Chains A and B, each alone.
Chain A
């Protein structure tokens, strides 16, 4: 485990310069995260979610996005944070990720959407080790901007895993 994390870290260091760019940042509890804006399609208010049975707890169900049926995922649950009730601030970030066959749209439920930030390469550091119990495979790196730390997410890795999550359940 630690050796694979090490290689991921090495790879990240090489890729750091590719990470610089614009990020949409949002908050889950006290943590701040960044998504590459190029992956973001739109941000919408929380819609009526239709639960889908046999899905893992963080996959909340599906919503009607102007006639398209897209899955929505609660990021807090995905990252094993305790659930909080949804409120006015709760938003769905619609992202486009690489699925098994084609690009798919997916809604990501977050507590608060913050801002769009330009992050320079010297603000980015590779993902540190957090020990064996913290999954870091879907973090591309961390950015230190104005004294706060933002975790930069690799969406394709974080969410395409949900297809395989499903197969484990079934």
Chain B
């Protein structure tokens, strides 16, 4: 029976809906699902009516009437109805069986995909917004699937996890079907078949199956990710061959199973049930509620909101501190002012927290990386994650991703030894990699810890001498030797492997982390492993700083680059070439630097014993920064000075201070390098 394009689209939507209903119902009655079901049934009834399938429409209508309250009994009825609908639909659509495309021969799967190309875009091209939503949602799902598969790999008996893999797959397939993205729908369908068999206990998920699913996730990510570009007219990348290969692997896995694996599967089936029996779907329910309570917001809107709140805070402070208002002795006015102040502060805190997102997705990506790397390198690595719910600024999370990937690669490639070497060293053959995140004060600490060979001090020192990083005869402490790996162009990897050693080194990692105003430390014991500690600010938008005064100007110095501050006494100051150029703080001597001189500010304090010295530290270097006075400690909202001032050394940005003026935010590292530059010029 030939269909018009419109009917075909409708059929695909029915397919998707029935699919989804079947899936939801099979998973079990969840009260939260009732609304979604009801909505789906309304759609279904409308679609069926449009197709003119009268018998089914009537049943659907009557079910719809009662779909408001869904109990277990109703679910079984619904289930039966959906089964019927399936059969009838398949017949109507002129396709046979429950799986319309499953009967296609596996190898030439590329050819129907090619002929389906045009169809892929029929619906999408007309609705860019829908495309975007579909792509974003599907990619989200793929992320979830990936993470869950990794979990499932460690607990293949957990039916709940299997459901959690199946469901989003199914949703992707359904949505792709509804939108007419045939290539995605068809491919997803094959994978779903495999998962469905596993859910039914007819097939066991083994290493091969997990591999297939993960690769399928990769392929689907590519296929779906490029949809917007395809709508814009770009050709699709060649995924047909990979799809075909995966499909044939699925077929092999499934058919091979019926011959040899069925006994094992039958035996596995009761175990699956056992896990399902306790706590049917608490987690599922929780996740659904979570989903319902969050809203996706354009990040630019969020940033603008946060800017406005920052303004409000300043405006509020201007009013609160207004001398004329403060002079008014009126209890009610003061109370109201205090109330406004409290609300503004709360508002600011809440607005700031909106930028924070959990680090979980980043960790999940790392989990996948660990899995792939351990496969590739033949080392067995157990990954232990902790504190995945720790929240950080969106921007920080984006920028920390690459350094973390790099460090995990390093740990597996250079840190953790082969199973043989580990046995010889008397360790468990499986390596262990700990990844954790936690809040510590106003910072977030991420640790990457392996139980591998640790840093080889001798080798590092030898390399450093070869490269003239360390002078011959110079002795270094263990910590100083460890720090050497952060030097540019330093790599101790004896051979360049596929995994790492491609020239991007720990120096880049450190630079990236420092660009985020963070810090990285190493602890390593030879033979026992290495731990990297990364300390990052919670957010880049707010900075905790000391306010300094030089003449009329105010500066903000980030507290993380401040060691201490002091009013120096005359005997702490040492003269060089007739000018006070050094200060002794306890037993450490460091150069003095006048901020007023460096920034050419008139009327700055010239008598150092009348001034305040702030000890600024960056990268192990210290200077005593001389300022007129320390005004206070405050949190400021960081603003960029714009491209006009990108070349200014020693200034990291601007902040609007309590009086409405702009204060420059100093950059500790820049200040110190500014000092060495001027010192060189002076010499």
A69 touches B662 (CB 8 A): yes
Chain B 608-666 residues near chain A, CB threshold 8 A: 639-651, 654, 656, 660-664
Min distance, Cβ B635 to any Cβ of chain A, angstroms:
16
Chain A 50-96 residues near chain B, CB threshold 8 A: 50-55, 59, 61-64, 66-71
A67 cross-chain contacts in B, Cβ below 8 A? 307-308, 310-311, 314, 656
A64 touches B642 (CB 8 A): no
Min distance, Cβ B326 to any Cβ of chain A, angstroms:
21
B654 touches A162 (CB 8 A): no
Q: Bound complex: CA of A68 vs CA of B656, how far in Å?
A: 9
B644 touches A66 (CB 8 A): no
Instruction: Say yes or no: A53-B600 contact (C-beta < 8 A), given A67-B310, A69-B656.
Output: yes
A170 touches B662 (CB 8 A): no
Q: Count how many pairs of residues, one from A and one from B, have CB atoms less than 8 Å apart in the complex.
A: 82
Of the candidate stretches A31-39, A99-107, A109-117, A136-144, the one touching chain B is A99-107
A50 touches B662 (CB 8 A): yes
Q: Does B553 contact A (CB under 8 A)?
A: yes
Q: Does A3 contact B (CB under 8 A)?
A: no
B662 cross-chain contacts in A, Cβ below 8 A? 50, 61-64, 69
Min distance, Cβ A54 to any Cβ of chain B, angstroms:
5
Q: Does B598 contact A (CB under 8 A)?
A: yes
B644 touches A166 (CB 8 A): yes
What 0/1 readout, one digit per residue, does chain A (40-55) give for beta carbons within 8 Å of chain B? 0000000010111111
A162 touches B644 (CB 8 A): yes
What 0/1 readout, one digit per residue, does chain B (421-444) give for beta carbons within 8 Å of chain A? 000000000000000000000000
Q: Does A2 contact B (CB under 8 A)?
A: no
A69 touches B640 (CB 8 A): yes
B648 touches A50 (CB 8 A): no
B641 touches A52 (CB 8 A): yes
A163 touches B648 (CB 8 A): no
B307 cross-chain contacts in A, Cβ below 8 A? 67
For chain A, give the interface size range.
Answer: 20 to 34
A163 cross-chain contacts in B, Cβ below 8 A? 643-644, 646
Q: Does A18 contact B (CB under 8 A)?
A: no
Q: Does A169 contact B (CB under 8 A)?
A: yes
- Which chain B residue shows the least CB distance to A166? B647
Which of the residues B598, B644, B648, B649 comes within 8 Å of A104, measured between beta carbons? B644
What 0/1 readout, one digit per residue, does chain A (125-162) give for beta carbons within 8 Å of chain B? 00000000000000000000000000000000000001
B639 cross-chain contacts in A, Cβ below 8 A? 68-69
- Which chain B residue shows the least CB distance to A162? B644
Instruction: Say yes or no: A62-B641 contact (C-beta < 8 A), given A53-B600, A53-B648, A67-B310.
Output: yes
Q: Does B601 contact A (CB under 8 A)?
A: yes
Min distance, Cβ B601 to any Cβ of chain A, angstroms:
7
Q: Does B599 contact A (CB under 8 A)?
A: yes
Q: Bound complex: CA of A37 vs CA of B211, how far in Å?
A: 63
B647 touches A169 (CB 8 A): yes
Residues of B at under 8 Å CB distance from A? 307-308, 310-311, 314, 553, 598-601, 639-651, 654, 656, 660-664
19 A–B contacts from the bound complex (CB under 8 Å): A51-B553, A52-B641, A52-B664, A53-B648, A59-B644, A62-B641, A64-B656, A64-B660, A64-B661, A64-B662, A66-B311, A67-B307, A69-B640, A99-B642, A163-B646, A166-B646, A166-B647, A166-B648, A167-B647
Residues of A at under 8 Å CB distance from B? 48, 50-55, 59, 61-64, 66-71, 99-101, 104, 106, 162-163, 166-167, 169-170
Per CB-CB distance, the 6 closest pairs between chain A and chain B, nearest first, are A170-B647, A67-B311, A53-B599, A50-B662, A69-B654, A71-B644
Besides A51-B601, A62-B662, A170-B647, 18 more A-B contacts (Cβ < 8 Å) are A48-B661, A52-B648, A52-B664, A53-B599, A53-B648, A55-B648, A67-B310, A67-B314, A67-B656, A69-B640, A69-B642, A71-B642, A71-B645, A166-B644, A166-B647, A166-B648, A169-B647, A170-B649
